[in-house]
Amino acid sequence: MAAAADDYLEIKDELMGAGDELMLLRYLKPMIDDGASWPQHFAEDADVFNKNPSKEFNPENTVFVIVNPRTEACGKTDGCDYGSWRIMARDKLIKNEETGKLLGFKKILKFCVKKTKRAREYKRSWVMEEYRLLKPNQDHVICKIRLLFQTEIGFLLSKHFSYSSGPLPATQSLPAYGYGLPNPEDEGAYYLRSLIGHENEWPSYVTNDVFCMHPSALVDPHRDQMFAESGICIFANRTEASGYTDGCDRGCWRIMQGDKPIASIMEGETFGYRRVFKFCEEDKYRHFCNVNGDAVLLTWIMEEYRLADEEMKDKVLCVVKLLRR
């Protein structure tokens, strides 16, 4: 039992870091040429191109799908009511880097939502990397599907148009959604720990104007289930005006609770602070939800976390939520 669990984790780690060559040689080729069964990390879905990934997949996980049969409509004329997969980067020939032998093709697709109002600098999109062998009339493909920030998509495309088929460099993982822990003190400590060590690696997808925009520009509260459960994490560079004199034409963030010290879970010493903001807006822009037939008012709340370290005082993690108040 332990050995099986170790094998599962080993394959998972290999898949997550696999380059293009490994995806073709280690997984797709044995399945087609030798009839090998695919690892349980793969799902089989011939209709994945006609489905909304936001409903089908967990946005925090990378998904590997075997598509059989793949048709000519895939990524061209198919889709669903919410949007469709469309090609961002066409077939790239994948070669064995040692022998130069041609192995197969890879293309990149993006799920294009029909209507969106999210802020461009913080928007995440579903991206699919599709792998297939050189064989004519081959209707098996592997699709690697994940939700990426615009900057990450840019790295992926740069890699696609280069000559190398190796994996992208690993990047520090920062949370995209809240932790939703039952104890708020523990949750705050986890947020602060995620900021440690980023003095020189502050992610390029931060937004400088989270305090100057309506929160609905950052997330669609009606379609993002993960946001509804835990809130969304926004990494920001704050200024002295943040939460005081700034705002947008539909309202402004204002402080509800001032700095509250947060102690380290292990040492018990203060290593960061938490502030709470409320988005103040006109009644015509307010959100409501239906509870037992009654309209209940919802309020945008933002929890701002910053480290006590002077060098990181203006680098904050903001957890935005839409709560009943």
Q: Does any domain span residue 171?
A: no
* 35 or 142, higher pLDDT: 142
Q: Does any domain span residue 177?
A: no
Q: Does any domain span residue 174?
A: no
Q: How is residue 205 written in tokens? A: 């997808």
Domain ends where: 110, 145, 160?
Answer: 160
DSSP track, 232-255: EEEEEE--TTTTTT--BTTEEEEE
Domain check: are 25 and 139 in the same one? yes
Q: Does any domain span residue 165?
A: no
Per-residue CA distances from 217 to 48, 237, 264 (Å): 28, 17, 33
The rounded Cα 315 to chain-centroid distance in angstroms is 20
Query: Domain residues for 112?
Result: 2-160
Domain check: are 99 and 248 in the same one? no
pLDDT of 227-285, one tens digit each? 888 888 888 888 877 877 787 888 889 999 999 998 876 667 888 999 999 999 877 77
Percent share of the chain, pLDDT over 70: 79
Domain check: are 31 and 128 in the same one? yes
pTM score, whole prediction: 0.58
Mean pLDDT calculated for residue range 202-222: 73
Domain check: are 139 and 256 in the same one? no
Question: CA-to-CA distance for 195 and 198, rounded, in angstroms?
Answer: 6
Mean pLDDT calculated for residue range 171-191: 72
Question: CA-to-CA distance for 36 and 32, rounded, in angstroms?
Answer: 7
Domain check: are 130 and 199 in the same one? no
Answer for the pair 140, 28: CB distance below 8 angstroms, yes or no: yes
For position 189, which CATH number holds? 2.170.150.80
Domain check: are 6 and 147 in the same one? yes
pLDDT of 70-88, one tens digit each? 777 666 667 788 888 888 8
Count of domains in the chain?
2
Q: Does any domain span residue 178?
A: no
Question: CA-to-CA distance for 318 and 154, rounded, in angstroms?
Answer: 24
pLDDT, residue 201, reads 55
Domain check: are 149 and 192 in the same one? no
Backbone angles phi, psi at 8, to 5 degrees: -60, -45
